[in-house]
Every structure is written in C-alpha cells, then in structure tokens.
Amino acid sequence: MVTLVGAGPGDPGLMTRKGLECLRSCEAVIYDRLASEELLKELRPECVRVYVGKQPGAHSVAQEEINRLLVEYGGRYRNVVRLKGGDPFVFGRGGEEIQALDAAGIPWEIVPGVTSAVAVPELAGIPVTHRSVARSFHVITGHGAFGERVAELEDYAALARLHGTLVFLMGLSALSDIADALLRNGKDAKTPAAVIAEGTTPGQRVVRGTLFDIAKRVAEEGLASPAVIVVGETAGLSLMPQESREGAAERQAGEAGKRTLGAVGTRQTVRAFREALRRCERGEHIPCEVTVPVEMEVCDAEDGARLSEEISHIRSYDWVLFTSKQAVECFFAAFRSAGEDVRTLAGCRFGVIGAGTGGALAAHGIRADLMPEHADAAAFAAQLSERFRAKRMRVLFPRARQGNGMLAEELARAGAEVCALSVYDVRGRRRQAFAQIGTQREFVFFSASGVRAFFAELAADGTRLSPGSVCYCMGTSAAQALQEETGNGEEIRVVLADEPTVRSLAERVYREERKGWIG
C-alpha cells in the first residue's frame, strides 16, 4: 500500500491527524523538500527514508524517477508514505503518481493536506474570499514546464477580467512576468498584491504593494521560495488576531533598538536557524531580525562522477567518513543513482563529525560507529589514527571542495589508504542585505566556507568588519577561519555555540540577545 499524504503548508501543527498516524506507522517514506523536519521526527527509527527533492550537490529527481521509486518501494514494503507539501492534488502531481501505481497494480489511498493556496494567505491576514470585495478565488500555477514562459501558459486576458482573488503557487521566479501579463491585459495597476514567503512558519515574511510595484518590492526585500502570490482586493486587507497586532506594535515601537543579525549560510540552514531562534523566544518578541548578506549555494564539484565509481565497489572500503550533512546527502544520492543495495554497506564502518552530521546519517538508517566528543577535525583525526595504526584501512572520504585537507593527511600518516573526493562545492552569492553591512555589528556563521565567502565580498568592496562586531560560530572550523581572515588584528568578539548544531547556535544567540534586550 502506498499512501499519498499532504504535509500541509509548512507549520507541522497543520498536518492532519490521519496524516500523522500514517507517518508514525509507515515502513518507508518518500518525501520532498517542503516536508517539515518536525514531521520527519514522527517516523520510527527503522523507517526507510528516501529524499526526492533538491539534493545538495545533485540535480532534482525527475518525476519519472519518483514514479519508479513509488512502484519499487510499494512492491517491497507493506506500508509506504509519499509525503508531499500542501495537498497532493494541488499542483503536486499526485495524479501522475497514482496513475503509475495503478499501472503497476500497487494499491493506494489519499490523505488530503491543508493547501498553501488558502492557509498561507489566511495566516498572513489575507482572506482569499470576502463577501464585500471577493466572492471567488482562483488558484494558478506560476511554474512553467519545459522552458515555457509562465505568461504563455494561461489565458491572462480572462484572468485579468476576474473580480475574485488570484492566488499563484510556485511563481516567485516568474513574479515580474505574471504582473506584466496581468497589466498588459487590462488589470488595474493599483490592484493590491502581496507575496508571502515561508508562510505559516516562524520565518514567514510578507511584502505588500500593488500589481505595479510588487515585483520591485519583493526583489528589494530578497524574498525566497517557497512563496505564495496573492492579487486582488483582499490582498489589501490585514485581518490579524489582537495578540498579533499587539506584538507587531510592540516590535515596531522597539524598532530603534532592534538588533539585526547577518546570517551567512545556505537558504535551508538560515531557515532552520530562524525557526530555532523563534522557538527560543517563546513569545517574548525580542527585537532581532535575521538578514542574509551572503547566501551560500551548494553545487556539484569535480569528483561527483568518481564518487559513483567508488560506490560501485564500496565493499572494498573499511570506513566511510563524513564531516558535513551535505556530504552525507551527496553520498546517498550517488548510492541510489548507482542502484546499489543497502546490504553492500554491511562491511563498512561510518565516522562523522558533529551531532548534525550524525543525525543526517541516522536519517538514512545508519548509526555512526565513531563520533568524537569534540566536533573538530583534529579530535576526529586523533581518534581515527589510533584505530588505524594496527592495520591498513581503506577509507572513502566524500567532502566539500573547500574541505580542510588535514584529516586526510593525518589518516595517511597513520597508514590508511584514503580516497578523498570533492563531491560538492559551496559558493557565496551577495544578497540585497549586504548593503546594510556598514550598520551591522552581529553576524552568524555556520561554516568556514561561509566565513571565507563573506570576507571575500568585504575585500571586494575594500571594507572590513566594524570594531566591536560579534561573530557567532556554529563550530570550531568557522571560528578558526575567522581568526585567519581577521589575523586577530580586528576588534571582534567570537562566540562559539555549545554544540555544532543549528539549535545550539540559536540558543547561544538568544542568550546573548536577551542580555542586550533586557539590559
């Protein structure tokens, strides 16, 4: 049996009771990038997890491959869940997946989910219908297929004539095209419009404007997907609970004392950090905003093909080592692409640095054989070298292109045969918030590569951190990179998280922010 379960719009609390029951009892789950990490915690430890969203260092999984996986796992396990963001049938391609299951004779059922088309605007204070201004609403995909322009996929002349609310899903990258198409077909330029990013989650951001200027406003604010676009008179409403209005007023009143944290990391990491920080606040409304001056992007590196080759004879390796979550995901993406059986890993031992990396490995059903108490490469190398001196070990070490070569060198000195592969690259991209660097005093770094990318952008502008700046680091590698970049000559304070996890870093930032807020 395969059950297509709608995960809802983002907030794990909006998952249906029946959907949760399916998650808690399934033997395997096939999920995409919009599935909340909180929901995945509901799975049993032995549940097999298959990620089919955007992989770090890999390409998106094609729908045909997802269909094949559903048939394969549906035939192998008694109880499989296909976890999809929102509702499976609202631009979720659930119909195609069901057709594939039908063709293979695999039984299926549906558990509807709360669709973001209604819930996201609703929780941002925008009703999709209102008797006095909009008696209907219309949901349109903003995502083209096969290179087609969005403006060519719909009858925008008909859409422009509608008096109801227009809701566009998956259309952030095409926002300018959508607005232009509606304006060309006669929609009033003063029509209210709004874009809600990361709706229903602690990282929710809302930008309002008119059809004429909404694309410009969103670009200035640097909103990122997932996002919902609302066009129509209801987009001009703001129906918020009293406590939310009071909270907004309180934050506005404290705007002068608001602290801004410049976070340098991938989009997913910064989103998780915002959520963890909000959980720490527990409604205290600490005036702290998280911006992204430099966003890190994960892409392929030169040894991606070589990793697949090494995986084809993984039985010859004694150990596989990971120093990051991205390396774990790259390894298992290549493992699945090679069509290998998980039983071929039975002879390997796995070593990881940090609880976060260990958690990523555990999500694939494997517990680490070695994780040093102190999450740094030196401690890792020392413990592994001690084990390897007795006999020659073969070690597979997939890592970032920018990875520190010290670990591989130390293991080679201990007599190990190390195959270190650069399987992914991390690059920094300057964002709109970089213009605020001159006024910021607090920054958050999740990795050494983020530190180096940030200082490269500073150097390109001929600037440096202001004296008295505070830099929060998730791990010792980021802290060491800071020392290298500043040469200890700049008056900056480095604050290290208690543990190298996003949650621990958020808790440390919260404690420091609360001191300043109360003081």
Which residues have a catalytic role annotated? 32, 54, 170
Contact 221, 214 (CB under 8 A): no
> Which pair of tokens denotes residue 94?
């659930």
> Which pair of tokens denotes residue 297?
């992007």
Distance linking the first and last C-alpha atoms of the chain: 58
Residue 174: name the closest of 121, 122, 225 by CA. 225
Rounded (10°) angle between helices 175-184 and 214-221: 170
Does residue 60 sit in helix, strand or coil?
A: coil
Residue 319: name the closest of 210, 392, 226 by CA. 392
Q: What is the per-residue DSSP string for 394-446? A: EEEEEEETT--THHHHHHHHTT-EEEEEEEEEEEEEE-GGGGGGGG--EEEES
The residues near 487 (Cβ < 8 Å, ≥ 6 apart) are: none
Residue 167: name the closest of 101, 230, 111 by CA. 230
Q: In the beta sheet, which residues pair with residue 460?
A: none
Residue type, 484: E
Residue type, 394: R
d(CA 252, CA 242): 15
Rounded (10°) angle between helices 63-76 and 94-104: 50
Phi/psi for 339 (5° steps) reads: 70, 25
Tokens 């392929």, located at residue: 300
